[in-house]
């Protein structure tokens, strides 16, 4: 599975703790992240992560492009609901793309843990079917 990891500044420590705790699960998948978030997760876990630009510099849009191409299976995006973000339109576009393309989106630790346990159980097999169907239609 292809998994995107994103976190606002005040949530970066949370996503690092999450990645450390679930490193055995995450290492079995292809990981993507926005710039600083990816760097901090790599430093803390040693996981292999393809890093994009930081969110405000286009990283959210780069992940959105993968969603639109049906190349992303899960987005874990620890958002900070109490701080205004200067790139809010990009965040809204990313969330909208997840909804349009039926990509599960975890926006906090609680939902991310539910998704990661579902991933461990194999509950995301349907994403393989959808991704393969999309490739045949192109």
Residue indicated by tokens 């600083």? 36
Query: Which tokens belong to 137?
Result: 């239609």
Active site residue 60: yes
Choose, from 9, 14, 60, 123, the residue flagged as catalytic.
60
Q: Closest Cα to residue 48, out of 27, 72, 18?
A: 27
Q: Do residues 34 and 54 make contact, with C-beta atoms less than 8 angstroms apart?
A: yes
The span from the CA of 84 to the CA of 67, in Å, is 24
Long-range contacts from 134-138, C-beta under 8 angstroms, 24+ separation: 134/70, 135/70
Give the integer Cα–Cα distance in Å for 60 and 91.
7
Cα 66 to chain centroid, rounded: 11
Active site residues: 60
């Amino acid at each position: 599975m292809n998994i995107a990891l994103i976190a606002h500044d005040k949530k970066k420590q949370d996503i690092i703790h999450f990645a450390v705790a679930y490193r055995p699960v995450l290492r079995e998948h292809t990981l993507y992240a926005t710039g600083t978030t990816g760097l901090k997760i790599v430093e803390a876990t040693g996981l292999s992560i393809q890093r994009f630009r930081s969110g405000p510099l286009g990283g959210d849009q780069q992940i959105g492009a993968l969603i639109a191409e049906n190349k992303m299976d899960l987005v874990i995006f620890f958002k900070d609901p109490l701080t205004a973000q200067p790139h809010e339109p990009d965040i809204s576009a990313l969330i909208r793309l997840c909804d349009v393309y039926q990509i599960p989106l975890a926006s906090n630790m609680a939902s991310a843990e539910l998704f990661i346990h579902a991933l461990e159980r194999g509950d995301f097999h349907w994403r393989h079917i959808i991704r393969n169907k999309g490739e045949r239609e192109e």
